[in-house]
Amino acid sequence: MAHRDLRQAPDLLMRAVHHFLALLRSETALVKEELKQNAARAGVGVGFLAVAMLLALVALNVLAAAVVAWIAATGLSFGFASLIVGCTLLTVALFLAMAGKSRLQADALLPSMTIRNVKKDVSSIKEAADDTY
């Protein structure tokens, strides 16, 4: 068995650390580049969603005007038909706003099942500790 020179160990260790740090730097650069590309793609996606929402809003406006014209064709005045459609849409909007608000309240966002399970776990640990001592 050949006897290795231990004087080379620090040099080998330094080279290994140097290679490890170089690998770490290159992987970090790769991650940064990927994140930059993903952020750009996400930005384009958000832009598409914004345009889609704007077009949907315009479409809803046109549909509301069509409903007003349809109601007016039954013999009601355009003003009264507009009032009917406007109040109906406002009622739907208020309902959706209240439903959304209730889902965003702090109590609704609490992880109630997790809290319950943690309380059970703490209770079980206390019981086990009491039984032990």
Alpha-helical runs (H) found in the chain: 9-73, 78-104, 106-109, 112-132
Q: Are residues 111 and 60 in the same domain?
A: no
Q: Are residues 33 and 68 in the same domain?
A: yes
Q: How far apart are CA 93 and CA 96, in angstroms?
A: 5
Instruction: Please determine, for residue 2, whether its predicted confidence score (pLDDT) is greater than 70.
Output: no
Q: How many domains does the chain have?
A: 2
Q: pLDDT per residue over 61-110, tens digit each?
A: 999 999 999 999 999 999 999 999 999 999 999 999 999 888 887 776 67
| Residue 3 domain-assigned (yes or no) | no
The lowest-confidence range among 18-27, 43-52, 70-79 is 18-27
The boundaries of the domain holding residue 59 are 11-75
Q: Are residues 69 and 98 in the same domain?
A: no
Q: Are residues 45 and 17 in the same domain?
A: yes
Structure-derived torsion over alpha carbons of residues 98, 100, 104, 105, reported in degrees to the nearest 10: 20
Residues 78 and 72 sit within 8 Å (Cβ to Cβ)? yes
Q: Are residues 59 and 89 in the same domain?
A: no
Residue 112 tokens, joined: 């109630």
pTM of the model: 0.53
Q: Are residues 88 and 71 in the same domain?
A: no
Q: How far apart are CA 20 and CA 84, in angstroms?
A: 71
